[in-house]
Amino acid sequence: MTGIVGYGAYVPRYRIKVEEIAAQWGKDPDTIKNGLLVQEKTVPGMDEDTITISVQAAKYAVQRARIDPQEIGAVYIGSESHPYAVKPSGTVLIDALDIGPDVHVADYEFACKAGTEAMYVAYSLVKAGEMKYAMGIGADTSQGAPGDALEFTASAGGSAFIMGSEKVVVEIEATYSYTTDTADFWRRELRMYPKHGGRFTGEPAYFRHVLGAGRGIMERAGLEAGDFAYAVFHMPNGKFPMKAGRTLGFEKEQIEPGWVVPLMGNTYSGSSPTGFVATLDIAKPGDRILLVSFGSGAGSDAFVFRVTEEIEAVRDLAPSFKSLLEENRIYLNYGEYAKFRGKILMND
Amino acid sequence: MREVAILGVGMTRFGELWEMSLRNMFAEAALAAIDDAGVDHIDSMYVGSMSSGLFVHQEHIAAMLADYLGVAGIPSTRVESACASGGLAVRHALFEVASGASDIVLAGGVEKMTDGADATDALASAADQEYEAFHGITFPGLYAFIANAHMEKYGTTREQLADVAVKNHDHGSMNPRAQFPFKLTRETVMNSTMVAEPLRLLDCSPVTDGAAAVIVASMDVAQKMDRPIVKVIASGAATGAIAMHSRKDPTTIPAVGLAAERAFKQADLTPEKIDVAEVHDCFTIAELVVTEEMGFVELGKSGEAVSAGETRLGGRIPINTSGGLKSKGHPVGASGTAQIIEVVEQLRGDIGERQVEGARIGLTQNMGGSGASCVVHILEGVS
Amino acid sequence: MITPKYTREIPQRYRLEAGRCTGCGYIAFPPRLVCPECDSRDFEKISLTPSGTILTYTVVHVAAEEFSTETPLPIAIIETDDGARLTAQVVDCAPEEVKIGKRVKLMFRCVQREGHSGIHQYGYKAVLED
């Protein structure tokens, strides 16, 4: 059996409400909230970035895995907001957690799918017998352009998963990926904000790949919606994952526990992985969980997870995701948010 | 070792001296000291400066200033101990003369702070760069650490801190060389811009240009000169941990207590015997703590003492009659030497309005950074 | 630029690596060659417990240029639970919440960013324990 032996998620404490951003641009907040099904989003502190978020999530994962970090043989961070264009995020993390130097490190990118691909590669190495433990992380602090629709949802957070074959907490029963060249959302080198194809990001992009991967994995694994306790999908807004889930035959009650976007926003590479961690706050041994990510460009990675008895022993070894998402929130106004996100032209 | 005297003193005024360069300020102060001493040569010189490198990108100033003083050829040494550079430069001149190696030595300090360098950053280099300044603490911030701890432990108040500034400005208003020769009220101090809680702008000594110098001579050379002379009867110096967080009790500055203890022992005196003192009030809290460290007031009682007027001109122990660093200004490397000048002039009895009647024994206390170095001198009026 | 110095300091900044004197138990952070308490030259390598108490603090309003956009900036002297002392920013709270005696956790954050082109300098910061 190979699967997750330790997991952790982290979101910063800062938030900004949809009303604040709407007021800034003269938009009606209720229209936005009803359209996106998002109320507020997480904002990284000025001293936080994809690396610090990954480090914190990874520390929680190590706490739950109860292993010596030195035994981790590979570390992969997937993000679309790595702090450097050239210089890895993963190397900072290994030195922070005292992993290595005999470790393989690579940074991954594929829009919002970068986290699940890091997870997939980490899992595959352990399954192949290459190493005892490998860690895959999805984290982001992505930017939404001022005044653009994405500004209401682009947020910060991430999750880390340590894969192994002993004392597995969540078994990985199946994996499946569905990928094509579809330019729905992109950012050219040296540009600060991405561009997107408007409504083209819906049916031909998100839904084609999420449904393709969802159907593909369920067929491969011989499962149907009723076999799952929870289903988690990439959450660019509140509506897309609900619609995808219902289309695949899932009930609202299966989708809601992992549907953290109304309070978190879209943490890009951290989105579906973090929704998945949210379900682990409450999952019981034997529960099956479906995870389908989506990354523009485009592709989806899918996993079928099965929670084991070990969950009871490790769940409380680190803070619950619910506590991080809902407690001690610090709300910002738009000016503070713009300062935190470096959107103000400084004299430097 | 033979007895040593201060034979001559000289300084520039302190302030934003836009028209003066580092080299010209030092030369002006040095020439004034040489004229005051009436000597026709000097054997060597010591120059104190915290960071000519960071402020004006000039190192090697011991040699440069010997050159600009027209005495290139004599030995010249740069002394650095952050804000204690000026006092420490004098200490080394004392040793050179006391040992018999030289008869007449110039010692002084200079700092040029207004030529555009980031002063907050340069001053923070007196702290632990990697483990204090790296995290954003500033020089005022380090003293604010002391202030908050002192207020928590002893109940020292915001008003008592302000009274140090008020007193020193009262004194400084009588000093024509001071950068800020005007009086202040408690309210003005307490309403000034916040710098590092609880310290406000008027709790902090300013950014200043200036130079100060003294001529140190052996007593027998001095006695031949027919000039007023003041004997140096003790020099005590000490160091302490560089980082504030390494000090056991953040309400104390151990290097000050240690340096003072050594000086009092050498002079065979106690604090009550001191008639006038110049202490290192880089921040109002600093003056409070050092008066406790040196035994002028009981531990924890310095706030009460200043508010009761014990340390003002006319009080039990007049402190900082020059206006202190606060009102007179704080050209970092020069301050220690300027303190000695004030005490020498007090002991000569010719300082004018701010004279302490019958002053015979004076003390100077000069420290670097958040107190990791300290030098204390005790002087006695002879003629 | 300053990468050699920064890289050398990674064990302290990232992992709180210190030296505990085998003679008297004094903890040197950063590690030292000789114990300032008992003169011993023998230390064992430890990592500090990332939690402690605020001994004193200030809120910096006038900061050096690198920190000018972060003011008012609370900074504290912290005594870790294993008895070491260090200076760190206190973040993710209102400045008024910082008080002598409060408990903190040490977190991994970016302490300085070297302009637009230099390196990110990561290290420890304190967060108030709720």
Smallest Cβ–Cβ distance between C75 and the set B135, B146, B195 belongs to B135
| Averaged confidence pLDDT in chain A | 97
One domain, residues B96 and B147? no
Write out chain C residues lying below 8 Å of B147, CB-based.
58
Which residue, among B17, B4, B5, B25, has the nearest Cα to B333 in the 3D structure? B25
The answer on B277 and B250 residing in a single domain is yes
**Pair (B165, B288) in one structural domain:** yes
Give the H/E segment covering residue B260. helix B254-267
Of residues A306, C64, C73, A302, the one with CA closest to residue B124: C64
How confident is the model at residue B338, as a pLDDT?
98
The confidence score (pLDDT) of residue C1 equals 60
- Confidence (pLDDT) at B18: 97
B370 to chain C, closest Cα gap in Å: 14
Domains of chain A by start residue, with CATH:
3-169+311-340 (3.40.47.10), 171-307 (3.40.47.10)
**Do you find a cis peptide bond into A257, omega within 30 degrees of 0?**
no
B25 CA to chain C: closest CA distance, Å? Answer: 27
Are A95 and C130 a contacting pair at CB < 8 A?
no
pLDDT of residue B229: 87
Among candidates B124, B144, B148 on the partner chain, residue whose Cβ is nearest the Cβ of C64? B124
Asked whether A133 and A162 are in contact (CB, 8 A), the reply is yes
Tell whether B143 and B262 lie within a shared domain.
Answer: yes
Instruction: Look at residue B114 in the predicted model and tell me its pLDDT.
Output: 97
Name the residue facing C87 among B118, B135, B144 (closest C-beta). B135
Mind listing the pLDDT tens digit of every residue in chain A (348 residues)? 999 999 999 999 999 999 999 999 999 999 999 999 999 999 999 999 999 999 999 999 999 999 999 999 999 999 999 999 999 999 999 999 999 999 999 999 999 999 999 999 999 999 999 999 999 999 999 888 999 999 999 999 999 999 999 999 999 999 999 999 999 999 998 888 888 898 999 999 999 999 999 999 999 999 999 999 999 999 999 999 999 999 999 999 999 999 999 999 999 999 999 999 999 999 999 999 999 999 999 999 999 999 999 999 999 999 999 999 999 999 999 999 999 999 999 988
Give residue C2's pLDDT: 82
The average confidence (pLDDT) of chain C is: 96
pLDDT at B227: 83
Residues in C touching A14 (Cβ below 8 Å): 92
Residues B334, B372 within the same domain: yes
Q: Does the beta-carbon distance from B141 to C58 stay under 8 Å?
A: yes
Residue B24 shares a structural domain with residue B134: no
Q: Is residue B24 located within the same domain as residue B167?
A: no
Å from A96 to nearest chain C CA? 5
Residue B1: the pLDDT is 86
User: Nearest CA to CA, how far is B171 from chain C (Å)?
Assistant: 28
Which is the catalytic residue, given A82, A196, A209, A234? Answer: A234
Q: What are the pLDDT tens digits along chain B (383 aa)?
A: 899 999 999 999 999 999 999 999 999 999 999 999 999 999 999 999 999 999 999 999 999 999 999 999 999 999 999 999 999 999 999 999 999 999 999 999 999 999 999 888 899 899 999 999 999 999 999 999 999 999 999 999 999 999 999 999 999 999 999 999 999 999 999 999 999 999 999 999 999 999 999 999 999 999 998 888 899 999 999 999 999 999 999 999 999 999 999 999 999 999 999 999 999 999 999 999 999 999 999 999 999 999 999 999 999 999 999 999 999 999 999 999 999 999 999 999 989 999 999 999 999 999 999 999 999 999 999 86
pLDDT digit string (tens) for C34-69? 999 999 999 999 999 999 999 999 999 999 888 999
What residues are paired with C98 via a beta bridge?
Answer: none
- Return d(Cα A276, Cα B78) in angstroms, integer: 65
Q: Is the ipTM reported for this complex over the cut 0.90?
A: yes
Domain extent for B368:
119-202+233-381
User: With 70 as the cut, is the pLDDT of residue C70 above it?
Assistant: yes
pLDDT in tens, A60-75: 999 999 999 999 999 9
How confident is the model over C79-88, as a mean pLDDT? 98
Q: Are strands A156-164 and A133-141 parallel, antiparallel or unpaired?
A: antiparallel
- Say whether both B158 and B271 belong to one domain: yes
Residues of chain A contacting C, Cβ within 8 Å? 12-14, 45-49, 51-52, 55-56, 59, 83-84, 87, 92, 95-96, 98, 327-328, 330, 339, 346, 348
Which of 166-195 (B) contact C at CB < 8 A?
A: 193-195
Query: CB-based contact (8 Å) between B197 and chain C?
Result: yes
Q: What is the dihedral of CA A90, A95, A96, A100, to 10 degrees?
A: 90
- The partner residues of A105 in beta bridges, in order of sequence, read A75
Active site residue A80: yes
Q: Which residue in chain C is spatially nearest to B143 when comparing CA positions?
A: C58
B369 touches chain C (CB under 8 A): no
Domain-located, residue B178:
yes
Residues of B in contact with C10 (CB under 8 A): none
Write out the residues of chain C at the interface with chain B, using a CB-CB cutoff of 8 A: 5, 9, 29-30, 36, 55-67, 70, 72-73, 75, 77-78, 85-89, 95, 100, 111-112, 121, 123, 125
Residues A6-37: pLDDT tens digits?
Answer: 999 999 999 999 999 999 999 999 999 999 99
Nearest CA in chain C to B240: C36
Residues B48 and B173 in one domain: no
Q: Pick the last residue of a domain from B223, B255, B290.
A: B223
For residue C99, give the chain B residue with the closest CA: B148
Identify whether residues B177 and B314 lie together within a single domain.
yes
C115 in A contact zone (CB under 8 Å): yes
- Best C5, C12, C17, C87 residue to mutate vs chain B (most B CBs within 10 Å): C87
Domain CATH number, residue B36: 3.40.47.10
Cross-chain CB nearest to A13 (options C10, C92, C120): C92
CATH for the stretch C3-128: 2.40.50.840
Cβ A62 vs Cβ C74: under 8 Å: no
8 Å CB contact of B138 and C95 = no
Could you tell me which chain B residue has the CA closest to the CA of C58? Answer: B197
Residues of B taking part in catalysis: 83, 330
Q: d(Cα B313, Cα A49) in Å, to the nearest integer? A: 57
* Among B155, B189, B223, residue at a domain's last position: B223
Q: Is residue B228 part of a domain?
A: no
What residue in B sits closest to C5 (Cα-Cα)? Answer: B130
A269: which DSSP letter?
A: G
- Find the CB nearest C100 among B121, B148, B241: B148
Q: Which of B190, B223, B256 is the last residue of a domain?
A: B223
Please give the interface size between A and C, counted as residue pairs whose CB atoms are below 8 Å apart.
52
Chain C residues near residue A45 by CB distance under 8 angstroms? 91-92, 109
pTM (predicted TM-score): 0.93
With 0-12 / 13-18 / 19 or more C-beta atoms within 10 angstroms meaning exposed / middle / buried, residue A68 is exposed
Point out the residue among C93, C109, C130 whose CB comes nearest to the CB of A48. C109
Q: Are residues B280 and B374 in the same domain?
A: yes
Degrees, nearest 5: CA angle B32-B35-B36: 85
CA dist A27 and A30 (Å) reads 9
CB-based contact B197 C63, cutoff 8 Å = no
Tell me which of A14, A46, A47 to substitute to probe the interface with C (most C C-beta atoms closer than 10 Å).
A47
Residue B134 has a CB neighbour count (10 Å cut-off) of: 20
Instruction: Report yes or no on chains B and A touching (3+ CB pairs under 8 A).
Output: no
- Which residues, other chains included, contact B6 with Cβ-Cβ below 8 Å and sequence gap of 6+? B214, B215, B216, B217, B229, B230, B231, B232, B340, B344, B379
For chain C, positions 41-100, list CB contacts with chain A under 8 A.
69-70, 89, 91-93
Kindly state whether B50 is in contact with chain C, defined as any CB-CB distance less than 8 angstroms: no
| Total domains, chain B | 2
Chains A and C touch (3+ CB pairs under 8 A): yes
Both B75 and B176 in one domain: the answer is no
